[in-house]
Amino acid sequence: MLQPSSSADIYSADVRIDLVVGQQTLSAAKVGPDHIVLREGVELDPCDGVLVVQVDGSVSHTPVRLPFGAMPFDRDVLVEQRK
């Protein structure tokens, strides 16, 4: 039979996801292999940006391309990883 976990066994990572485009830092709710879901809609022309993911203080930067930009009525933005 399973025993209830104690509070010492529970862990939740501190995660922050941002998309940096030019001088703008846009907060993201989630990220997938080919898209980012922004917390708020924004209008952007096709452009380059940087996906910044922070997990418990460890930061990774991934250069991305927004081939179709973004529209304020659609928070799901297609991205391609740049090399």
* DSSP conformation letters of 16-30: EEEEEETTEEEEEEE
Q: What is the pLDDT of residue 40?
A: 97
Q: What is the pTM of this model?
A: 0.83
Query: Contact at 8 Å (CB) between 76 and 28?
Result: no
Which 8-state DSSP code applies to residue 2? P
Q: What is the mean pLDDT of each run of 10 residues along the chain (83 residues)?
A: 63 92 96 96 97 95 97 96 88
Q: Give the DSSP H/E element, type plus range, for residue 62.
A: strand 58-66
Q: How far apart are CA 16 and CA 54, in angstroms?
A: 5
Q: How far apart are CA 12 and CA 27, in angstroms?
A: 19
| Domain ranges for the chain | 11-81
Q: What is the pLDDT of residue 36?
A: 97
